[in-house]
């Protein structure tokens, strides 16, 4: 199924939880945040929030800035 | 008050340093952290950006700042609408476990002046949602007062466009702000060298945020030290009460007893 991930079209094999998505991407939770369709998903909700087809996902972290 | 007891009171925190640092534009991490050490800054800003996969292996900036007991202040740099800024702030809160946000909502790309309407809208929403908002703004005293009235923890007017090094282009407005706004004022953007930072403090500002002037100086850690001294000197001068400016000279040496002065006739 297709989703938008950080502005790019991305194919996932199936619907999956945010926690599974992060594990698949090998992303550690510390220092990162994720929003789906402009809603920030709290880390506690990662295991129970499911990514669906067409979702727009923003995965961010802190970088150098002024 | 002795200078050693002169703390910056910001959102309920007492901070010994009135110099905040931005973390962008340094040649490498070692130079960044040498500059932070030299500056004595306790708060360092960072931006929120999409993770570039697969490069996530190094210790993150946040972890490195945390390991040195520095407070990270995320910004909403690059946001052009209130909704973008609010989402970025919420992402920052979740990622970095802080409800402090340096709010920036930009109106155009050349001078990076803020979009005042969207800035006020974003500030209102973020304050309502419990954020500690430090709002980057232009040097308009009315907009800054509105941000203060909305409940921002600090207002951060620019001295000149971000990264320009032009200094304080409108000291009259900045001084006027100090007379009319009670919450902390932090001069942010446009500082080029230490005397600019000192001037901001002499005008009564509570703190200064410096990024490019240090990061891209020929010797960043040395410039960071200069900025530290400049902020302290400017603050001490402000607290000491300067003399008023006069149009003409007023001799400082006594007139009486000068040689060559004889009675006439």
In whole angstroms, how large is the CA radius of gyration of chain B? Answer: 21
Q: Does B167 touch chain A (CB under 8 A)?
A: no
| Res. B250 pLDDT band, cuts 50 70 90 | confident
Q: What is the CA radius of gyration of chain A?
A: 12
Nearest to A62 among B53, B61, B163 (CB): B61
Q: What is the pLDDT of residue B255?
A: 85
CA nearest B46: which of A58, A61, A30, A66?
A66
Alpha-carbon distance B212 to nearest alpha carbon in chain A (angstroms) = 8
Q: pLDDT at residue B59 above 80?
A: no
C-alpha span between B249 and A4 (Å, rounded): 70
CB pair distance less than 8 Å for A60 and B45: no
**Sign of the CA dihedral running B70, B45, B155, B231:** positive
Nearest chain A CA: its distance from B4 CA (Å): 28
pLDDT over 90 percentage in chain B: 87
Give A11 to chain B, closest Cα distance, Å: 15
SS3 label, residue A26: coil
CA nearest to A24 within chain B: B54
User: B162 — phi, psi (to 5°)?
Assistant: -50, 130
Q: What is the DSSP string of B193-214?
A: SHHHHHHHHHTT-SEEEESHHH
Q: Which two tokens stand for residue B68?
A: 């040195």
* Chain A positions in Cβ-Cβ contact with residue B74 (cut-off 8 Å): 62, 65
Asked if B48 and A61 come within 8 Å (Cβ–Cβ), the reply is yes
What is the overall mean pLDDT for chain A?
94
Assess whether pLDDT exceeds 90 at residue A60.
yes
Regarding pTM above 0.90, the answer is: yes
Would you state the pLDDT for residue B56? Answer: 56
What's the confidence (pLDDT) of residue B163? 95
**pLDDT digit string (tens) for B128-175?**
999 999 999 999 999 999 999 999 999 999 999 999 999 999 999 999
pLDDT number for residue B1: 52
Does any CB of chain B come closer than 8 Å to the CB of residue A49? no
Q: Indicate if the pLDDT at residue B4 is higher than 80.
A: no
Residue in A30, A42, A66 nearest the CB of B211: A66
Nearest to B95 among A33, A64, A66 (CB): A33
Please judge whether B49 and A63 are an interchain contact, meaning their C-beta atoms are less than 8 angstroms apart. Answer: yes
Choose the closest CB to A60 out of B26, B51, B163: B51
State CA B130 to chain mean position distance: 22
pLDDT for A14 beyond 60: yes
Interface test with B, best of A18, A56, A65 (most B CBs within 10 A): A65
E-strand stretches of B109-217: 132-137, 154-157, 186-188, 207-210
Rounded to 5 degrees, what are φ and ψ at B25? 80, 5
How far B61 CA sits from the closest chain A CA (Å)?
A: 6
* Nearest residue in chain B measured CA to CA from A32: B95
The pLDDT value recorded for residue B54 is: 66
Chain length of chain B:
265
Would you call B58 a catalytic residue per the annotation? no
Structure tokens at B31: 């130079």
Question: For all residues of chain B together, what is the average pLDDT?
Answer: 94
Cβ contact (<8 Å) for B60 and A30? yes
Report ipTM (2 d.p.): 0.96
Using one digit for the tens of pLDDT, what is the confidence trace for B173-214?
999 999 999 999 999 999 999 999 999 999 999 999 999 999
């Amino acid at each position: 199924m297709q989703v938008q991930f950080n502005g790019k079209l991305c194919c996932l094999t199936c619907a999956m939880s945010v926690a599974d998505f992060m594990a698949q991407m090998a992303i550690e939770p510390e220092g990162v945040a994720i929003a789906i369709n402009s809603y920030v998903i709290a880390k506690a909700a990662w295991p129970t929030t499911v990514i669906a087809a067409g979702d727009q996902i923003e995965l961010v972290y802190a970088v150098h800035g002024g | 008050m002795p200078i050693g007891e002169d703390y910056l009171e910001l959102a309920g925190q007492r901070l010994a340093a009135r110099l905040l640092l931005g973390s962008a534009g340094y040649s490498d991490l070692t130079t960044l952290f040498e500059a932070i050490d030299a500056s004595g800054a306790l708060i360092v800003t960072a931006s929120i950006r999409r993770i570039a996969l697969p490069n996530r292996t190094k210790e993150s900036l946040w972890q490195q700042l945390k390991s040195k007991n520095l407070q990270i202040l995320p910004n909403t740099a690059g946001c052009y609408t209130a909704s973008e800024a609010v989402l970025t702030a919420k992402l920052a809160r979740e990622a970095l476990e802080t409800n402090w946000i340096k709010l920036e909502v930009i109106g155009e790309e050349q001078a990076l002046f803020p979009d005042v309407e969207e800035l006020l809208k974003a500030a209102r929403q973020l304050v309502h949602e419990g954020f500690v908002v430090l709002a980057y703004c232009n040097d308009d005293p009315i907009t800054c007062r509105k941000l203060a009235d909305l409940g921002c923890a600090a207002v951060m007017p620019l001295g000149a466009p971000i990264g320009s090094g032009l200094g304080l282009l409108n000291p009259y407005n900045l001084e006027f702000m100090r007379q009319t706004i009670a919450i902390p004022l932090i001069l942010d953007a446009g500082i080029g060298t230490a005397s600019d930072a000192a001037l901001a403090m002499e005008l009564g500002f509570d703190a200064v945020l410096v990024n490019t002037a240090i990061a891209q100086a020929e010797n960043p850690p040395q410039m960071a030290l200069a900025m530290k001294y400049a902020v302290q000197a400017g603050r001490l001068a402000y607290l000491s009460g300067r003399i008023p400016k006069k149009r003409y000279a007023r001799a400082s040496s006594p007139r009486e007893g000068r040689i060559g002065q004889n009675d006439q006739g």
